[in-house]
Structure 1
Amino acid sequence: MATAPAIGIDLGTTYSCVGVFRQGKVEIIANEQGNRTTPSYVAFTDHERLIGEAAKNQAALNPANTVFGGLVERNYNQDAKRLIGRNFNDPALQNDMKHWPFKVINDDNKPRVQVTYRGDTKVFHPEEISSMILYKMKESAEAYLGAPVRKAVITVPAYFNDSQRQATKDAGAIAGLDVLRIVNEPTAAAIAYGLDKTDDKERNVIIFDLGGGTFDVSVLAIEKGTFQVKATAGDTHLGGEDFDSRMVSFLSQEFMRKHKKKIDNDKKALRRLRTACEKAKRTLSSCTQASIEIDSLFEGIDFYTSISRARFEELNSDLFRSTMDPLERCLTDAKVAKTDIHDVVMVGGSTRIPKIQKLLQDFFNGKELNKSINPDEAVAYGAAVQAAILTDGKAVEVQDLLLLDVTPLSLGIETAGGVMTVLIMRNTTIPIKKTRIFTTYTDDQQSVLIQV
């Protein structure tokens, strides 16, 4: 049986998306519910394993056994994506664990997710959880294309380190995919923006990618099908989930004030409150007020309240402002003035937040933001194009495309005194090869441990 074309997968912390390039264009593939994005949720019950919408819909009833997120991205995905590639003692992981209703255990300083499945206690690596989400995306693609899918390009946040990238690749292999390449999310989004821009004029473009769990910003120069990343910066631990957490904390305190009851230790109540907060956040992107109505939230008490956009912005003001620091750093590293930026392209669902848009517009002195691409689908779109280039670059639409990416973090080795000696600076165009001669620490030394 003939195999399907290679696919592109955006494995997101909160939602995932898959696309394919065929017959000269990208097609974003809907799941069995007809939705073009799928919640990055996996749930374990007494009878079955659920993935996607079905898993998310029962999260409030079964919070301890519902895991969400690109576990690989955050190094620990209840956020499987927040779990991936991280050590158990990572301070960011420890902080996230306070918000997760599922149990994360320490296995030789590596985080593992512990759930109850069919009556038994099961322990999963973050990569295994992420692989289940990837397998779901693969299944959707196979149903749509009517043929087995073998190859894929998977995207990750630009600021992922090597262990997180390898963990994502491992997750793909577990899902039965030959992972052709791991591509940075902003770079993939830039392809979606620039695929139809074939003029000779060089354009400096900012890709501002704020999703559910991670934040990236990249500066690219696009000219005649060449996409050159000049610099990238970001925060693998900032996104819409963090904004939700601020609202959950605020409203749980309001419940305490009104009813003298503390819900912080009730996983089901917190899960229902978080779901309501996520819905309210989305409402506040188009309205100035959102109502929250939860019947029998805790001990039979109904919780009815409202929150204004101004209050939401106040709760998250420091997080919103913190997106500007990587933006400044990225422009500095790229040696590009903000007045020389032609387009500011927004990617990721959290860029729909009006305050984020205003901060970005003010930073660029009132410049109109580019909203020409779908922020939820752009990354999968670019990944699908890259998959086509790597498997069948003959299509006229992609045959002349050239991607020049950078390493987001400096690379080096540990030398005497525990000092890191940098060999390849961050934002160096890859592939790159560097050679340097080092001496041993003592005379007649027989072996050496190289810590990269």
Structure 2
Amino acid sequence: MAKISINLATGSLQQEEIIVGIDLGTTNSLVAYINPEKNPQVINDMGRGILVPSIVHFNEKGDALVGNEAKEFLTTDPENTIFSVKRLLGRSYNDVAAHQDTFSYKVIDDDKESLVKIKAGNRFYTPIELSAEILKELKSRAEHSLKTPVNRAVITVPAYFNDSQRQATRDAGKLAGLDVLRIVNEPTAASLAYGIGLDPSEHKTIAVYDLGGGTFDVSILAIQNGIFEVLATNGNTFLGGDDFDRAIVHYWIESNKLKEAELQANPGLMQQLRLKAEEAKIALTTQNIYNEKLGDIWCSITRITFQELIKVRVQETLDSCKQALKDAKLKTTAIDEVVLVGGSTRTPYVKQQVADFFGRQPHDQINPDEVVALGAAIQADILAGNRSDILLLDVTPLSLGIETMGGLMDVIIPRNAKIPTKAGRQYTTSIDGQVNMKISIFQGERDLVKENRKLAEFDLKGIPAMPAGFPKVDINFLLNADGILTVQAVELRSGVKQEIEITPAYGLTDDVVEKMLVDSITYAKSDVAQRMLIEAKSEGEQLVYTVERFISKNGQVLDEEETKITLVHIEALKAALQDGDKDLILKKADDLNEFTRPFAERLMDLAVSKAMKGKSVD
């Protein structure tokens, strides 16, 4: 094993090797590095293109194809071809239920509060696993192109990503075999690519307008002493260049008087029209008219017509800009710089509207598809200690978190987080009437707490006795500039509070930290497999408990046959739990969920009808 030295002050590895910057996008992803001339450069491995479509296809054997090869299966095998996975990262089913119809694959609803799973073939995947497949492809391309191992990376995320989404991105990197040195906000990376914020004496307020293929967001940043602070962010996760393409397609359908029945009978035609529309959109960035034929269909459109078609959607983005400025309590005159990100900002009408709104020409000199990855590469170079002009704040060298069900480590402050810092998460009870909660604090990078270092433990006592899932316990970690960690737990309904102060330095040597980091990468795959099995078991056991309790309390709403089939499903899930096969557990849990879902609705209908008759309901 190669010896790796670690600087505890920065938490960064000191070995001379390339650290890449990765833009993990909703539509496309790409990777960049600092070349020998000390300039950021995107990687185009074997001429396969810079942009890797963020699409994963699984064949019958369960093998994954990523990128352009996977894109071909969007129309031929949509159920096993996963796209826009970034929208699912760190999300529960509740978060995405309203958009279920936009996905051609099955997003599993086994517990509205737990993180989503995606079914492909007979396997169940988490968004973390799917994102890891995309990151593995980027890692592989970088290694092939640079002819050197790539084990460390900086990965970008939208400014509005919450703690859970950031942690999911970090976990995906780990599963792909990457030591994720820092999660960086996309607008921060874009600013760095333009050199904004590299001068510590610089004081600026900037707006980053990011219009991609499927999403839009705007961020207002304040930059002072090299620190980027997000003042406000706004946007629409379902608005982008794809909407421009759809507008052109609908225009052609109307102008060619194409019948709905004709289009439904030929789904391939719609896909061909979409591809033509994308071609037209790109052509209209440099010319005033596009005039082509698709069989007997005239695909003709002028730039002026195109601008009219997208006017409403572009105005929606400007409304978001207006709201972001309002939230930041700023006027457009307070904005010093505007940066354009995302391929859809190439549209001249978009560029002009943004310039008119902010009253200044935006930065668009760098390819808007590449600007975030290039900025991430610059951030990676800073972390590598190659830029002496940049002052880096101290960071925590190892992740800090608590133990959750099944002995899992739930990270609250990830390694390399700048200090001082504060982060928290909400938890609940798993059994009815639970009045105490044991909170165990750990430090380390492994998924199972037994592989990490225990720092402290305390009990939150006096939680009011309530059904499982009702108490809401906020656990907050506050790490100050001296490395002193304060952990506070509060039950929100009752106000019951407990806190403890820990000094996490306690003599960790460089060798110990180094071993913990190397082990986290070495055992990433087996750790994640164990974590997913434990999570599946915990969810399965919780489901059995919930359904059995429902039958004992509300059995009268089921007929004899329904009760019998429900019990068969429960036994099948119990057998799967004994067997210990993650996918089998999730399959049996899904079967039980699907069968029992109508029962709760029926009970609600009965309660409502009783209430309507003026009777009291227990």
TM class, shorter-chain normalised?
Answer: 0.7 to 0.9
Q: Which amino acid aligns with 2:333?
A: T
Q: How far did residue 332 of structure 1 move? A: 2.8
Aligned to 2:43: 29
Is 2:318 the counterpart of 1:327? no
Using the TM superposition, give the Cα deviation of residue 227 of structure 1 relative to its aligned residue in structure 2, in angstroms.
3.6
TM-score (norm 2): 0.57
Superposed CA offset, 1:80-117 (max 9, x none): xxx762416735422423xxxx322424156544445x
State the match for 1:67 in structure 2.
82
- Equivalences for 1:34-113 in 2 at 5 Å? 34-45=48-59, 49-57=64-72, 59-69=74-84, 71=85, 73-75=86-88, 85-87=91-93, 90-97=96-103, 102-109=104-111, 111-113=116-118
Q: 1:167 to 1:421 in 2, by over 3 A?
A: closer
**Aligned mates of 2:214, 2:87 — CA distance in 1:** 7
Equivalent residue of 2:57, what SS?
A: strand
Residue of structure 2 equivalent to 1:290: 290
Compute the RMSD of aligned alpha carbons. 4.2
Q: 1:287 and 1:183, CA in 2 relative to 1: closer, same or farther beyond 3 A?
A: same
Q: CA deviation at 1:199?
A: 8.0
Whole-angstrom CA distance in 2 between matches of 1:243 and 1:144: 34
- SS class of match (2:206): strand
The answer on whether the counterparts of 1:5 and 1:22 sit within 8 Å (CA) in structure 2 is no
Q: In the aligned structure 1, how far is the partner of 2:496 from the partner of 2:39?
A: 62
CA distance in 2, matches of 1:443, 1:146: 57
- In structure 2, the residue matched to 1:133 is 134
> Aligned partners of 2:475, 2:316: CA distance in 1, in Å?
29
Q: What SS does structure 2 have at the residue aligned with 1:316?
A: helix
Offset from partner CA, 1:123-153 (integer Å, 9 cap, x none): 4333332221111110111112322222212
Change (3 A) 1:393 1:399: farther
Give the aligned residue type for 1:21.
I
Q: Which has the higher helix share?
A: 2
Amino acid at match of 1:170: D
Confirm or deny that 1:5 pairs with 2:6. Answer: no
CA offsets, 1:222-243, max 9 Å, x none?
A: 4564444333333333222233
In the alignment, residue 287 of structure 1 is paired with which amino acid? Q
Q: Does 1:369 align with 2:383?
A: no
| Aligned residue in 1 for 2:613 | none
Q: Distance in 1 between matches of 2:474 and 2:90?
A: 25
Distance across 2 between alignment mates of 1:200 and 1:258: 60
Q: Which runs of 5+ in 1 are unaligned?
A: 76-82, 296-301, 425-430, 446-452
Q: How far did residue 330 of structure 1 move?
A: 2.4
**1:309 pairs with 2:308:** no
- By how many angstroms is 1:310 displaced? 3.4
Query: Which whole-Å CA distance do the structure 2 matches of 1:394 and 1:125 have between them?
Result: 36
Residue 358, structure 1, aligned to residue 378, structure 2: no
* Change over 3 Å in CA distance of 1:211–1:33 after alignment to 2: same
- Please give the alpha-carbon distance, in whole angstroms, between the structure 1 residues aligned to 2:182 and 2:30: 17
Tell me what 2:175 maps to: 174
AA of the residue aligned to 2:349: K
Corresponding residue of 2:388:
396
Which structure's CA Rg is the greater one?
2
Amino acid in structure 2 at the alignment position of 1:25 = N
Shift of 1:64: 4.8
* 1:271-328 alpha-carbon deviations (Å, 9 max, x no partner): 3332222222222222233345434xxxxxx433223333333333332111123312
Paired amino acid for 2:306: F
Structure with greater contact order relative to length (CA < 8 Å, sep ≥ 6)? 1
Specify whether residues 439 and 163 from structure 1 end up closer, same or farther in structure 2 by C-alpha distance, changes over 3 A only: closer
Worse-superposed segment, 235-244 or 47-56? 47-56
Say whether the 8 Å CA contact 1:7–1:19 is kept in structure 2.
Answer: yes
Partners of 2:254 and 2:126 in 1: CA distance: 34
- Asked if structure 1 preserves the Cα contact closer than 8 Å seen for 2:132 and 2:175, the reply is yes
Partners of 1:84 and 1:292 lie apart in 2 by 43
Equivalent positions of 1:220-231 (< 5 A) are 220-222=221-223, 225-231=226-232
Distance 2:370 2:172 in 1: 21
- 2:432 corresponds in structure 1 to none
Q: 1:443 to 1:436 in 2, by over 3 A?
A: closer
- Provide the identity percentage: 38
Q: CA deviation at 1:348?
A: 0.9
Whole-Å separation in 2 of the counterparts to 1:443 and 1:26: 51
Provide closer, same or farther for how the CA distance between residues 175 and 338 of structure 1 changes in structure 2, counting only shifts above 3 A. same
Query: In the TM superposition, what is the alpha-carbon distance from 1:39 to its structure 2 partner?
Result: 2.0
Change over 3 Å in CA distance of 1:171–1:268 after alignment to 2: farther
How many residues are aligned here?
411
* 1:62 and 1:268 in contact (8 A); partners too: no
How is 1:232-247 mapped onto 2 (pairs within 5 angstroms)?
232-247=233-248
* Mapped partners of 2:197, 2:494: distance in 1: 59
1:261 aligns with 2:261: yes
